[in-house]
Amino acid sequence: MSELLSLKNKHYALSGGTGTLGGSIAKYLVENGANVLLMGRSLDKLQAKQKELNAFSENSAFIFKVDVLNEEALHQLKNTIEKEFECLDGLVNLAGGNLPGATLTPNQTIHDIPLDDTREVVDINLFGTVLPSIVLSKLMVKQGHGSIINISSMASKQSISRVLGYSMAKAGIDIFTKWMAQELASKHGDKIRVNAIAPGFFIGNQNRKLLTNEDGSFTDRANSIIKNTPMGRFGDISELNGTVHYLLSDASSFVTGSIFDVDGGFSSFSGV
Ligand SMILES: NC(=O)c1ccc[n+]([C@@H]2O[C@H](COP(=O)([O-])OP(=O)(O)OC[C@H]3O[C@@H](n4cnc5c(N)ncnc54)[C@H](O)[C@@H]3O)[C@@H](O)[C@H]2O)c1
């Protein structure tokens, strides 16, 4: 692989690294010679993922039981990384997702919106990215380089029915990405970059119930998504890997503050 795209021996931190998308990205990075620092809340899941990754490449995965909303734990993680690793080359903020309680049922109206769950979804999806980015980017500023990738959503651009908290949080991710990109580049140089990926629709644990019926057939919502996706299908989780690779590598050295749609054409299609 060309130097421009090399991820070899780099250290990348991933929140949500045991989740559907995070797990797939962690595996891809390790397969390409990188080391991953996985953050998660469940030690069991972290250990299982570490075992899987280390079986592929010895000592490639390191695990940290960290809730991304816990500032103190994030500061401790930063200190540990500083002590035990040469540097932190990148951070991928994958922790997030919707909560069933924050989703309106098809017959509910805005006046039924569960506000506590909605707030919780904003917290995890917005501050769950803001806090690790602010804390861990201190390492990047000190070492003089680093690439941060945030995860946005189709719900940040146009309204998607029933999921208010998630949509507000992901719209916040877009502007946070642009804001942090310009602050870092203008005050700390051109080697610390922040971008976001806006995935289209991938079936994972958090949306399976919204998209598939018990017999495995698609719900009306899933069929509507497919109809509005020019490629006519859901994404495969491996289809985020290429964009992650590009954004973490030097191939994107002049790219910061950008949001990349990986969506089979969903966001560019008028529906007609
Ligand atoms: N699957 C999709 O179609 C899709 C589409 C657009 C965006 N996304 C986004 O991609 C990201 C990953 O989604 P996924 O499908 O892999 O979901 P997932 O539920 O499989 O993974 C999310 C992970 O985040 C972790 N997490 C949640 N709160 C946390 C906290 N406070 N501290 C630490 N970890 C926490 C969960 O435990 C889980 O492991 C999310 O931000 C999601 O919103 C997913």
| Mutation choice for ligand 1 from 28, 63, 127, 151, CB with most ligand atoms inside 8 A | 151
Query: Is residue 57 scored above 90 in pLDDT?
Result: yes
Query: Is residue 100 scored above 90 in pLDDT?
Result: no
Taking residues 39-45, report their average pLDDT: 98
The structural domains of the chain, with segments of one domain joined by +, span: 6-200+235-262
Judged by DSSP in three states, 60 sits in coil
Phi first, then psi: give them for residue 145, nearest 5 degrees: -155, 165
List alpha helices for 123-212, DSSP H: 128-143, 164-188, 208-211
Spatial distance between the Cα atoms of 257 and 176, rounded to a whole number of angstroms: 9
The CA 2 to ligand 1 mean position distance, Å, reads 31
What is the crossing angle of helices 164-188 and 115-122, to 10°? Answer: 30
Q: Whose CA is nearest to atom 7 of ligand 1?
A: 153
Q: What amino acid positions are annotated as catalytic residues?
A: 166
Query: Is residue 58 scored above 70 in pLDDT?
Result: yes
The CA 93 to ligand 1 mean position distance, Å, reads 9
CATH of region 6-200+235-262:
3.40.50.720
Spatial distance between the Cα atoms of 85 and 140, rounded to a whole number of angstroms: 13
For residue 248, name the pLDDT band (cuts at 50, 70, 90): very high
Taking residues 86-107, report their average pLDDT: 93
Q: Which atom of ligand 1 is nearest to the CA of 205?
A: 20
| Cβ-contact 228, 266 below 8 angstroms | yes
Taking residues 207-232, report their average pLDDT: 93
The CA 47 to ligand 1 mean position distance, Å, reads 18
Query: Is residue 1 scored above 70 in pLDDT?
Result: no
Q: Which atom of ligand 1 is nearest to the CA of 170?
A: 43
For residue 210, name the pLDDT band (cuts at 50, 70, 90): confident
Mean pLDDT, the chain, rounded, equals 96
For residue 212, name the pLDDT band (cuts at 50, 70, 90): very high
pLDDT of residue 206: 77
Kindly report the pTM of this predicted structure.
Answer: 0.97
The CA 187 to ligand 1 mean position distance, Å, reads 31
Residue of higher predicted confidence among 248 and 100: 248
